[in-house]
Amino acid sequence: MLPGITGLESVKPDYQVITRWNSGERRPINFKPILVQYADKTDSSIGQLLEPSICESVLYDPEMQGLFWNGLIHRREKDGSLSPAPPDFCPDVLLENSTVLP
């Protein structure tokens, strides 16, 4: 079974979120170690997540079974219009950066 998030339980002010997984596990994810790689790139969509209030706006996507942030970036469509292109992390990356809660 491929790893997937089935829910977002809580968001902590210290770059941590508590998630539920399709394995039945509850896992906290600490985004700080992931985000510090982008510390000098605050103009990037991922770098913006170092701002605590932006990081805390994380949302759960049941279709992707992952987490994303809405409204940070947009892409230009062929017709010239702009569409949301929210940054996200795939479940594999999130699984690697989490631990199992007892």
Report how far residue 73's alpha carbon sits from residue 46's, in angstroms, rounded to the nearest whole number. Answer: 10
51, part of any domain: yes
Domain of residue 62: give its range: 5-96
11, part of any domain: yes
| Percentage of residues of the chain with pLDDT beyond 90 | 49
Distances in Å between the alpha carbon of 59 and those of 19, 41, 56, 94, 97? 11, 22, 9, 14, 17
101, part of any domain: no
Residues forming a β-bridge with 60: 67
32, part of any domain: yes
72, part of any domain: yes
Q: Any idea what the CATH number is for the domain that residue 80 is in?
A: 3.30.2020
Question: pLDDT of 13-52, one tens digit each?
Answer: 889 999 999 999 999 999 998 888 877 876 777 888 888 9
102, part of any domain: no
33, part of any domain: yes
Task: Compute the average pLDDT of residues 64-80.
Answer: 89
The reply to whether the predicted model has a pTM over 0.85 is no
| Percentage of residues of the chain with pLDDT beyond 70 | 98
Res 62 pLDDT > 90: yes
Number of independent structural domains in the chain: 1
Res 10 pLDDT > 90: yes
90, part of any domain: yes
